[in-house]
Structure 1
Amino acid sequence: MFRSALSLACAGLALLATPALAEPARNLGITVAPLGAYVLQGDAEGAPTVGYSAGLGWAYRKPGAVLEVGGHLASSRHLTEVTPMSVRVVPLGDTRVRPFLGVGASLLVPHSRPQSVAPDTLGSRVLQLGFELCGGVGVELGENLFLSAEARYQNFSARGSPFSGERQSLRSTFLGLGMHL
């Protein structure tokens, strides 16, 4: 009798859990942002560099969580910058409109170097390390699509050392369309 009751309870739990298991969790969001603009200040030339950029972003968040892990890659004619991982706070959780704030570590690769840089410091300008503060909002458009707007502030070393006193800042904004996978 106990075995049959236990078997029936397990079968009932399996039937109740089946719809939840059949529905795929859409925890990963990929964003393509073809509309981006940036301002780079503090480079060796002194004048701010302004340009357009395109990017690819990603975010992973479990349903109901207020923290997510994300990152992005953006490139323009003058530079490529990447934040492989940032930690973001999503205070409203699973809502149609999801604002977020985040912080992460960034890398910057300039595509062109000024001619005035001495040959011995040329190698130190290839990869610059820094940090990122970001904020944005995602708006659900349907079951799998969302609209994303993001603003970033990044601060990089102008020399090889990430703790160098010579700094440059990159401010950028992006608008894109995303998809839950």
Structure 2
Amino acid sequence: MLDKKIILCGFMASGKTTIGRALAEKINIEYVDTDELLVKTYGMDIPTIFEKYGEEYFRDLEHNIAKKVVEMPVAVISTGGGMLTFERNGELLKKNGIIICLVRDFDKIYEDLLADKNRPLAKSKSKDELASLYDMRISKYQKYADYTVENNGSPEDCIKKIISIIDES
């Protein structure tokens, strides 16, 4: 039986929410998306928080959510794309679960970001700037990740890989 939280990290549009929901359903445990929890807890969507209060304020709220999820029972938790780029969140989450970094080809990520209007950082950056951010963030995710899983195929393939990791843990 699973006795640790499964924490998914990765860049924006790497599949954390899609994979997280499906994985939780497949292994029959709760699913928590930290961005959704943040919006529900603070009553504002993320673009509004960025616009009204700035990124630093958002990151403080995000840290509060990290503290909240580690107190929850075993679950699959999808983190926001920037959450594990901050040491305070990375250290906290690493002590409280198995961290799996989802990686996708950047061009696939970029296509999805262009189609999604609900990503404040993606809207304000060029493709080259996003590629640089992707490269910088991947190394930070790797610092905390126990495992890295490619998500360039079907969600089912990615979920199978994660389940085999869980079974070995």
| Same fold (TM > 0.5) | no
Q: Could you tell me the TM-score, scaled by structure 2's length? A: 0.22
Q: Which has the larger strand fraction?
A: 1
Structure with the bigger RCO (C-alpha within 8 Å, sep 6+) is 2
Rg comparison, structure with higher value: 1
Q: Which has the higher helix share?
A: 2
